[in-house]
C-alpha cells in the first residue's frame, strides 16, 4: 500500500494517526506507534543451531576416566569434574608413597589406586546416566 510522493520517496500511511510516512519507517514520527513489522529474530547460535537444553551436560568417557586414574591416582576424578576429590586422592597418594619407606604405604597406595580407577569409571557412567551433575 505504498504510494509515491512528489519527491519520489515511497510512503505509507500510519495505522494509528493516518499520517503519511516513509515506507521504511518502523515507528511513526508523528504519533510514535510501531507501524512496521519488527525485525526477524536473530539466531543466538551461529548458523541457526539450537541452544542445548538447560540440563545439558557433557558426556564423560568411562575409558578415559579409568585410564587417567590408572596413570596417576585422582586424574580420573579431576576429568569427571570432581576437582576436590581428585586433589584429595593425589595428596593421599603422595602420603602413601612416603609411607612406602615403612612398607605400610605400598599396600595402601595399591588399594587407593584400584579404588580410584573403579570410582572414576563408575562416576563417569553415573554422569552419563544423569545421576550425578558436575
Q: What is the pTM of this model?
A: 0.57
Residue 50 domain-assigned (yes or no): no
State the residue range of the domain holding 4: 1-38
Structural domain total, the chain? 2
Same domain (yes/no): 33, 67: no
Same domain (yes/no): 13, 69: no
Read off the DSSP letter of residue 72: S
Residue 85 domain-assigned (yes or no): yes
| Main-chain phi, psi angles of 76, to 5 degrees | -65, -35
* 60-89 confidence digits (pLDDT tens): 999 999 999 999 999 999 999 999 999 999
Confidence of residue 7 (pLDDT cuts 50, 70, 90): low
pLDDT at 12: 80
More confident residue, 8 or 13: 13
What is the mean pLDDT of the segment spanning 42-69?
71
Same domain (yes/no): 78, 124: yes
Same domain (yes/no): 28, 73: no
Amino acid at each position: 500500500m505504498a504510494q509515491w510522493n512528489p519527491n519520489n520517496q515511497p510512503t505509507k500511511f500510519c495505522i494509528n494517526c493516518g499520517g503519511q510516512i516513509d515506507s521504511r519507517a518502523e515507528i511513526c514520527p508523528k504519533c510514535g506507534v510501531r507501524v512496521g513489522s519488527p525485525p526477524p529474530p536473530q539466531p543466538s547460535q551461529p548458523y541457526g543451531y539450537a541452544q542445548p537444553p538447560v540440563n545439558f551436560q557433557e558426556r564423560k568417557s568411562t575409558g578415559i576416566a579409568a585410564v587417567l586414574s590408572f596413570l596417576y591416582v585422582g586424574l580420573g576424578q579431576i576429568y569427571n569434574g570432581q576437582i576436590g576429590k581428585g586433589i584429595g586422592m593425589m595428596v593421599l597418594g603422595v602420603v602413601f608413597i612416603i609411607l612406602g619407606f615403612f612398607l605400610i604405604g605400598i599396600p595402601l597406595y595399591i588399594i587407593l589406586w584400584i579404588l580410584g580407577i573403579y570410582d572414576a569409571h563408575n562416576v563417569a557412567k553415573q554422569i552419563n546416566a544423569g545421576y550425578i551433575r558436575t
